[in-house]
Structure 1
Amino acid sequence: MQLATKILIYSVFVLVATVIGSFLLFDSIVRFGIRDQTALRKRNEMRGLYLKIPIPLRFNVYFFNVTNPDEVTTGGKPKLQEVGPYSYDEWITKVDVVDNDVEDTLTYSPMSTFIFNEEKTGEGLSPDDVVTVLHPVIVGAVTTAAETNPALLNILAKAIKSIFREPKTMYLTDSVRNILFDGMKINCSVTDFPGKAVCSQLKTQLPGVKEVEKGLYSFSLIGNRNATEGKRTTIKRGIKDSKDLGKLVDYDGMKQLNMYDSEECNKFQGTDGWIFPPFLTREEGLWAFSGELCRSVHVKYVEPRPYKGVPTELYEGDFGDQTNDSNEKCYCPTPKTCLKKGLYDLTKCMKVPITVSLPHFLKVDESLVDGVEGLKPNVSKHSIAILFERTLGVPTVAWKRIQFNFMIKPNAKVESMQNVPEVLHPLLWLEEGVILEGALLKKIQSVFFLQKINSFLRWVALLGALGGIGLSIYLYYQNKDKGTITPIHIMNKFIGNFNDDVKNFKSTTTSATSRGSDKGEHDNPAFINDHQTSIDKTKF
């Protein structure tokens, strides 16, 4: 019975310790540690990683090279050839950092530096490659004038002939390097009134235009972002409340936008896109504000998708459906004009008539795909996708993808666009992403490795404790039913019988002595034999 009692005591102790320590205390300690370490405290490693990302983002550019520009000019369908990727390492830092302990905020200016990566660029491709794409300046200027002030089209048509030397098409043929960074040349040394008037507007109205020398401007798509401070951004540090970590509270001096008709679309939702709070739920999804799009973007949970030992989940996003989704109506270009599913107008944001979509018109009305040749939508290649781990609030793989398009229409005033088809014409698409590898990934993996060890040990201890309790109960009832089944009980019986024999022997000896002490009976062999027979017959 004592053995069963000891087993029971030890088993109950292990059971209670396992439940309290492993199931309750361990999880609470881990959650506290995660909240503490993910906050942007000055002592935390997370703050250093946030302010200066230790690995470069992958920045890839894919051009839609037009193989039949002359045919399009006379009304033919554009034939597109995807050329890319032209890959760049994008190093992200945040400068001029200011903390506000009272508001628990951090303010910074982002800065990106792009460095060409030959290894990750497509085989045989170089920044010096020449491609033929829509001319963003010509098409952008004509589209803007046609939509906002058609009376200016006559002057604009003359200016285009003067500045661009009577172009035959609406296309530009130039090097990848010039289009992206160094700049396409714009001759503003013209002396005619239309040309001078348009040039004066280009420098002030078109982002990315700079004066190279007197009378010569250049325009690039990304050059103005390279090694240049971005707009001041203020976020929550998550020290006072971990749920607020990364929450955007001010952008470029604004508490919210003022370009949309709806307060819901004007307000900042989610983080700045570089950090997320821990312990998010699947139902919440991920919200982040994009300064390039002038709106918050939502990506939704799709399915579990583990990544190298980390229990990540796949989240995907798109540009919504202004026509059918009431929550997207505020993004319509005008109250009466909404774009088709999967499109978003950047005119209000960039002051340039650009329509964005997912690459290759993925998740867009199929009629748009049929308007050009050469597009092949693919979910795995062209979606906005994030592999996200909700406990720590970290992405292990993230790809932000976007395609820039111009809506081209015939324009009788502009010679190079008089007979073009009415179609949404792709220019290029970009992808910006990160894939965690090396030391950063190992740190995340170690957290979940420890959790697996704890989970294994807790169940081993729990099963062992329950097994011990079961064994003690079994021994208790076995002892109760059989009474003497252990060696201890057998030994006790043996010792008891032996003591009885000794007592009987002493009693017999005393009696014999008193009767025959004078006759010497103790020396009689018969007496000895009778007594020995008595002992032999004793049964234990």
Structure 2
Amino acid sequence: MFKKILIGSAIALAFGIFVGFIGFPKLLRKMIKSQLNLKPGSEPREMWEQFPFPLNFSVYVFNLTNADEVQNGGKPRLQEVGPFIFDEWKDKYDLEDFEDEDAVAFNMRNTFIHRPDRGLSGEEFIVMPHPLIQIMAIAVKRDKEVMINLISEGIDVLFKPTTPFVRATFLDIFFRGIDVDCSGDHFAAKAICLNFHTGAVKGAVKVNETHFKFSLLGGSNHTDAGRFKVARGVKVSRDVGRVLEFDDEEKLSVWDGDSCNQFRGTDTTIFPPLLKPKEQIWSFAADICRSLGAEYEKKTSYADIPASLYTVDLGDPKNEPENQCFCRDYPDDCPARGTMDLTPCTEAPLIASLPHFFKADPQLIADVDGLSPEEEKHGIFIIFERISGTPLSAAKRLQFSLSVMPVPEVEVMKNLRPLIMPLFWVEEAASLDKSWTDMLKKKVFLIIKLNNALRWISSIFGTCGLLVSLYMLYGKSQIGTTNVVRISEVQNVDKF
């Protein structure tokens, strides 16, 4: 009887250890690797090609409340206006698979649909640096100064400015567009308008042969955001979504250094499964021409799912060797801590940072009034489930500022104070709702929980049964030995 219990307990213990602790994890990893890839026809591929739900895209604008003072050299006083909320739909088109490379190429497209029912109407008036006058004049003054007199004359003819600022509705500045009349024959104005006709001005949309509309975001709405080639992850699961090429190039040619020009991580729409604990998460952000790494912060949970919290910091180009190639001229011309100079990327004197200069040089906050950085509102974060590679909740937040400098050749800009002037910031966010988290629990965590229960029950009961059986068998043998000894003693007594 006890021998049968002993054998059964040993089998249960072996099952708990070798199947529950060793076999099942290997089987689960194999199952995840075989399913979470971009093989044509697979469920992950269909979701990756077109997101089944929109991201929340919010815009917050810094309204300038003392424009006259700033034009005469005063300190800017800012008032945040927002959010202006949009549904952002991401889809991919013109897909082409490369079987030998285990890769797929596609064009990315982002479509923004305004949701005034969830935020501001968009008809609110905003005062901010004129996105054509100031950006054009500063860019030419900084990098093509020999042309500044020509550009100054062209600005006077085209815009007839009395101020370097624009006052218009949010939708006009960011989506509908500001009118640019190129019907005149003035040589300097035609020199500027030539850039509109050739498509060199990003954000400009042609209305007719002589008129254009310029907006900050409208030109990128439902338009091609670049061609990617990424790994499908069929052969190597950890490579799924990894960017191999962008616009037919294997690396960027924007920055002065290979490390800054390399593609690291995915296209932000998929992440590899089975990441190691505390492993860094990378993704390539084409809009700012660089890869961003999210650092592990701590363990957390989301909808009762074990997860990890990651955050992003833009770093310190001057004092961090891996970021020094983001300097225009190291070490003399490096962006401040927590910022990056987008001029090489956008050909405009724009500075990227976290909103309200969160995690940036405190002097940037002191140069203007109205900023109040807070981690909860202004930090970038990802709550990540590392087994399936699923972002459960995430918010990418970036602020865009103008690197302001006085331009004596442009009358309305000659007294401007040199500083980094916040323009607006955007938030791209998504959180899985109950239907998605329940599905994740059923597909991954229910199996894990069942296995955990089974392996511990098998191990505990097997160990207990083994110990009891051994004890009882040992005890029985001891009783048998004692009886033999006693019988032997009785026989020896009888001999006397």
* 1:228-307 mapped onto 2 (5 Å cutoff): 228-307=223-302
Match of 2:418 in 1: 422
Match of 1:209 in 2: 204
Match of 1:170 in 2: 164
Residue 289 of structure 1, CA deviation: 1.3
Partners of 2:446 and 2:436 in 1: CA distance: 15
Partners of 1:266 and 1:214 in 2: CA distance: 38
Q: Deviations over 1:316-373 (max 9, x none)?
A: 1122211101111111123441111111111111111111111100111100100001
Moved more, 316-325 or 55-64: 316-325
Match of 1:86 in 2: 84
Match of 2:456 in 1: 459
Gaps spanning 5+ residues in structure 2: where?
482-496
Give 1:388's aligned amino acid. Answer: F
Give 1:84's aligned amino acid. Answer: G
Residue 145 of structure 1, CA deviation: 1.3
Which structure's relative contact order is higher, taking Cα pairs within 8 Å and 6+ residues apart? 2
TM-score, normalised via structure 2 length: 0.93
Q: Deviations over 1:290-337 (max 9, x none)?
A: 111111111111111211122211111122211101111111123441
Identity within the alignment, %:
36
Partners of 2:380 and 2:78 in 1: CA distance: 22
Instruction: Say if 2:16 and 2:454, in contact at 8 Å, map to a contact too.
Output: no
Moved more, 105-114 or 444-453: 444-453
Partners of 1:458 and 1:220 in 2: CA distance: 60
Match of 2:34 in 1: 36
Moved more, 128-137 or 54-63: 128-137
Instruction: Say if 1:398 and 1:434, in contact at 8 Å, map to a contact too.
Output: yes
Q: Does 1:322 align with 2:320?
A: no
SS at match of 1:450: helix
Match of 1:135 in 2: 130
Aligned with 1:360 (options 356, 360, 364) = 356
Partners of 2:457 and 2:276 in 1: CA distance: 30
Q: Does 1:182 align with 2:180?
A: no
Partners of 1:381 and 1:454 in 2: CA distance: 39
Q: Deviations over 1:256-303 (max 9, x none)?
A: 112223222222112222112112224540111111111111111111
Partners of 1:258 and 1:420 in 2: CA distance: 33
Q: Deviations over 1:450-492 (max 9, x none)?
A: 21222122112211111111222332344345569xxxxxxxx
* 1:478-497 mapped onto 2 (5 Å cutoff): 478-481=475-478
SS at match of 1:306: strand
Moved more, 409-418 or 140-149: 409-418
Residue 249 of structure 1, CA deviation: 1.0
Match of 1:73 in 2: 71
Match of 1:509 in 2: none
Moved more, 284-293 or 200-209: 200-209
Give 1:475's aligned amino acid. Answer: M
Partners of 2:411 and 2:208 in 1: CA distance: 29
* 1:12-23 mapped onto 2 (5 Å cutoff): 12-23=10-21
SS at match of 1:145: helix
* 1:45-60 mapped onto 2 (5 Å cutoff): 45-60=43-58
SS at match of 1:232: strand
Residue 149 of structure 1, CA deviation: 2.2
SS at match of 2:82: strand
Aligned with 1:156 (options 151, 156, 160) = 151
Instruction: Say if 1:62 and 1:85, in contact at 8 Å, map to a contact too.
Output: yes
SS at match of 1:312: strand
Give 1:348's aligned amino acid. Answer: P
Match of 1:491 in 2: none
SS at match of 1:341: coil
SS at match of 2:302: coil
Aligned with 1:5 (options 3, 6, 9) = 3
Residue 192 of structure 1, CA deviation: 2.5
Partners of 1:198 and 1:340 in 2: CA distance: 32
* 1:188-199 mapped onto 2 (5 Å cutoff): 188-199=182-193
Give 1:15's aligned amino acid. Answer: L
SS at match of 1:457: helix
SS at match of 2:396: strand
Give 2:446's aligned amino acid. Answer: F
Instruction: Say if 2:15 and 2:458, in contact at 8 Å, map to a contact too.
Output: no
Partners of 1:231 and 1:339 in 2: CA distance: 27
Match of 1:528 in 2: none
Residue 168 of structure 1, CA deviation: 2.5
Partners of 1:109 and 1:214 in 2: CA distance: 29
Residue 206 of structure 1, CA deviation: 1.4
Aligned with 2:121 (options 126, 143, 153) = 126
Residue 20 of structure 1, CA deviation: 2.1
Aligned with 2:338 (options 335, 342, 357) = 342
Q: Deviations over 1:40-77 (max 9, x none)?
A: 11242111111011010111100001111111111211
Partners of 1:69 and 1:282 in 2: CA distance: 50
Instruction: Say if 2:15 and 2:455, in contact at 8 Å, map to a contact too.
Output: no
Instruction: Say if 1:51 and 1:93, in contact at 8 Å, map to a contact too.
Output: yes
Partners of 1:291 and 1:392 in 2: CA distance: 25
Distance 1:26-1:339 versus aligned 2 partners, 3 A rule? same
Match of 1:398 in 2: 394
SS at match of 1:398: strand
Q: Deviations over 1:395-433 (max 9, x none)?
A: 111211111111112222212112221111011001112
SS at match of 2:206: strand
Give 1:402's aligned amino acid. Answer: L
Match of 2:305 in 1: 310
Instruction: Say if 1:132 and 1:174, in contact at 8 Å, map to a contact too.
Output: yes
Partners of 1:130 and 1:479 in 2: CA distance: 93
Partners of 1:375 and 1:56 in 2: CA distance: 30
Instruction: Say if 2:180 and 2:213, in contact at 8 Å, map to a contact too.
Output: yes
| Count of residue pairs brought into register by the alignment | 479
Instruction: Say if 2:138 and 2:407, in contact at 8 Å, map to a contact too.
Output: no
Instruction: Say if 1:206 and 1:352, in contact at 8 Å, map to a contact too.
Output: no
Aligned with 1:105 (options 103, 106, 113) = 103
Give 1:290's aligned amino acid. Answer: A
Partners of 1:210 and 1:229 in 2: CA distance: 14
Residue 82 of structure 1, CA deviation: 0.6
Which structure features the higher share of strand residues? 2
Partners of 2:317 and 2:31 in 1: CA distance: 43
Instruction: Say if 2:19 and 2:455, in contact at 8 Å, map to a contact too.
Output: no
Aligned with 1:475 (options 472, 475, 483) = 472
Partners of 1:466 and 1:368 in 2: CA distance: 64
Give 2:362's aligned amino acid. Answer: E
Give 2:98's aligned amino acid. Answer: N
Instruction: Say if 1:405 and 1:426, in contact at 8 Å, map to a contact too.
Output: yes
Match of 2:484 in 1: none
Q: Deviations over 1:61-100 (max 9, x none)?
A: 0000111111111121111111111110011111111111
Match of 2:490 in 1: none
Partners of 2:9 and 2:235 in 1: CA distance: 42
Partners of 2:229 and 2:285 in 1: CA distance: 14
